[in-house]
Amino acid sequence: MAAIVTDNLVKRYAEVTAVAGVSLEIKEGEVFGLLGPNGAGKTTTISMLSTLVKPTSGTALVAGRDINKDPLAVRRNIGIVFQEPSVDDLLTARENLYLHSMLYGMPRREIPGRIEEMLRLVNLSERGDSLVRTYSGGMRRRLEIARGLIHGPRILFLDEPTLGLDPASRKAVWEHIRGLKDLHNTTIILTTHYMEEADSLADRIGIINKGRVIELGTPEELKKKVGHDLVFLRGAIDEAAVRALPFVNTAERDADCWKIGIVDSGINLQELLNAAGRIEEVEVRRVTLDDVFLKFAGQQISDDEDEKADGFFERVAAQKAVRR
Ligand SMILES: Nc1ncnc2c1ncn2[C@@H]1O[C@H](COP(=O)(O)OP(=O)(O)OP(=O)(O)O)[C@@H](O)[C@H]1O
Ligand SMILES: [Mg+2]
């Protein structure tokens, strides 16, 4: 059974259409990454699916329940970690978790044990009795995550869950997300601006831009759509021979440095090097989700700056400056 099926979800505000018709199917036990630039409609989509915001039109089934007709049943099956802080500042972490557990109707006997388990998970056991208002940003974030998880929801919405976390805390959250999927078959919908996070966690990714899902697939499928890996060469290169190779998509130069986009460097790199002539330096970069994002959603942010985005030519210029 699908955990979530959305049917042409739309949310319009007076000034903007935040979500412009999203139809998605998310399988039970799937980790689904929702990526997109600021203002793309990610939070609004999650807010509709978690019944916090009413769609202008369209609907969705979440855990088999209709978000418009049966929002209470939907809520019983979901957990949410909000992008905006929502824990109570004037309570301690333990009190926040206790309140939340009661609201979700968890069996009383289980609550204290679960609270301690969650505090351990997010590394807040020792500060569990401090008022949240005395917490750092990262500590609040971690408490937020503990709260979203404590009632063991079947479907979990995580809106930028690791924003502002230090690398160790981020890794701990990743491990927990993997554990939820593997041990409990929890369905997870995750938004993030960290491409590495999406790549390592998500089974499938939807890229959303201006309220529409513009690309959908596994991380590997999406990377294939970029079409090439990048090879950086320095030296006196035989341009005509390079351009004539059937697997070369793009070739750009800046003085004696070349940036060449080739299909499948694993197979074709050697042939490229053979054809290129006298090479002094080689660097190969496989396509990453960052490249995917820039290709499909990046125009809005960077005005087609993706060729500059990895800073290759800037690095070259800097090296030259140092040599002089
Ligand atoms: N309550 C609201 N009233 C009016 N406009 C809103 C409201 N909530 C969101 N919007 C608008 O809807 C659009 C989508 O916002 P949303 O928060 O869903 O984006 P997002 O993809 O989550 O962005 P970010 O990556 O910055 O979190 C934006 O243009 C935003 O200004
Ligand atoms: Mg958002």
DSSP 8-class letter at 124: -
DSSP H or E segment with residue 47? helix 42-49
Q: Contact, 29 vs 4, CB < 8 A?
A: no
Ligand 1 nearest-atom number relative to CA 19: 14
Mean pLDDT of 3-29: 97
**From its phi and psi, is residue 210 left (phi > 0), alpha (psi between -120 and 50) or beta?**
left
pLDDT at 87: 87
Q: Tell me, yes or no, if the two domains 2-223 and 226-323 fold the same way.
A: no
pLDDT at 176: 82
Q: Contact, 145 vs 161, CB < 8 A?
A: yes
DSSP H or E segment with residue 167? helix 167-184
Q: What is the pLDDT of residues 242-278, one digit of tens each?
A: 999 999 988 998 888 999 999 988 899 999 999 998 8
Is the shortest distance between the CB of 36 and ligand 1 below 6 Å?
Answer: yes
Dihedral sign computed on CA atoms, order 48, 54, 59, 61: positive
As given in the structure block, the two tokens for residue 152 are 């063991």
Q: Whose CA is nearest to atom 10 of ligand 1?
A: 18
Quickly count helices (H) and strands (E) in the chain.
14, 14
State the distance between the two ends of the chain, measured CA to CA, in whole angstroms: 65
β 17-27/2-12 pair status: antiparallel
Q: What is the pLDDT of residues 147-198, one digit of tens each?
A: 998 998 999 999 998 888 889 888 888 888 898 888 889 999 999 999 999 9
Distance CA 104, CA 113 (A): 16
Test site for ligand 1: of 9, 10, 12, 13, most ligand atoms within 8 A of the Cβ: 13
Q: Where are the beta strands (DSSP E) in 148-263?
A: 155-159, 187-191, 204-209, 212-217, 229-237, 248-254, 257-262
Confidence of residue 298 (pLDDT cuts 50, 70, 90): confident
Is the shortest distance between the CB of 38 and ligand 1 below 6 Å?
Answer: yes
Is the shortest distance between the CB of 40 and ligand 1 below 6 Å?
Answer: yes
Distance CA 162, CA 157 (A): 13
Instruction: Name the residue among 2, 156, 19 with its Cα closest to residue 65.
Output: 2
Higher pLDDT, 118 or 313: 118
Burial label, 161 (beta-carbon count in 10 A; 0-12, 13-18, 19+)? buried
Test site for ligand 1: of 10, 15, 42, 82, most ligand atoms within 8 A of the Cβ: 42
DSSP 8-class letter at 316: H
Is the shortest distance between the CB of 17 and ligand 1 below 6 Å?
Answer: no
Q: What share of the chain is helix, strand, coil (3-state, %, to 5)?
A: 45, 30, 30
Q: Which CATH class is domain 2-223?
A: alpha beta
Which residues 6+ apart lie within 8 Å of 155 measured at CB? 3, 4, 62, 63, 77, 78, 79, 186, 187, 188, 189
Query: CA 23, 26, 32, 34: dihedral to nearest 10 degrees?
Result: 10
Q: Whose atoms come closest to the Cα of 209: which ligand?
A: 1
Distance CA 138, CA 314 (A): 33
Q: Contact, 147 vs 87, CB < 8 A?
A: yes
- Which CATH architecture fits 226-323? 2-Layer Sandwich (3.30)
Confidence of residue 224 (pLDDT cuts 50, 70, 90): confident
Q: In what order do the strands lie in the sheet with 2-12?
A: 17-27, 2-12, 57-62, 65-66
Kindly list the domain boundaries of the chain, sorted by start residue.
2-223, 226-323
pLDDT at 299: 56
Alpha-carbon distances of 244 from 228, 238, 262, 263, rounded to whole Å: 16, 10, 12, 14
Mean pLDDT of 122-151: 91
